[in-house]
Amino acid sequence: MRGDKSKLVSLSGKGVEEVVEAARENMRGLQKGMLLLQGGGNGLRQLGPEQTVRKVMECVREIKREKVQVVVVGVLGRPKESRGYEELRKETNRLLRQEVLDLKIECSRKEGDYSISFLDLDGAMPPGVYDGRCTPG
């Protein structure tokens, strides 16, 4: 993601409110570009799946008005979290996937605007990747 036309903004430890605000700020006024939005794990217990998804999708809809491609990445797993968190995370990702699909269908009615996707990394990476048990190769 390095280069003249790209920017990486990492907000480690921040909640979904700070993530979506940074996305809005960094994408404002762009006519071309792509936003890869990943967040929502911090504060998931406090906000719950519905409110987390609402905040993410409000941001995505606003950014879509700028004609920017958007990829929403599902909330990532956390191996040291309790089972309760995992259930909240999976429900959040289910809701996000459905909301993104609904928006994609809405966008498909506008010629040439299919530029929203949901990226679910569950199953794409080995279970030990987040806690150091998984080694390359």
Give the chain's length.
137
Read off the pTM: 0.78
Q: Give 35's contacts (C-beta < 8 A, 6+ positions apart).
A: 23, 27, 63, 68, 69, 70, 71
pLDDT exceeds 70 at position 37: yes
Domain 16-130 in CATH 3.40.50.1110? The answer is yes
Predicted confidence at residue 6, as pLDDT, reads 60
Percentage of residues in the chain having pLDDT higher than 70: 80
Predicted confidence at residue 91, as pLDDT, reads 95
Cα–Cα distance, 34 to 69 (Å, whole number)? 4
Confidence grade of residue 101 (pLDDT, cut at 50, 70, 90):
very high
Mean of the pLDDT values across residues 101-120? 81
Mean of the pLDDT values across residues 37-51? 88
Cα–Cα distance, 75 to 123 (Å, whole number)? 13
Mean of the pLDDT values across residues 17-38? 80
Mean of the pLDDT values across residues 30-50? 84
Predicted confidence at residue 96, as pLDDT, reads 94
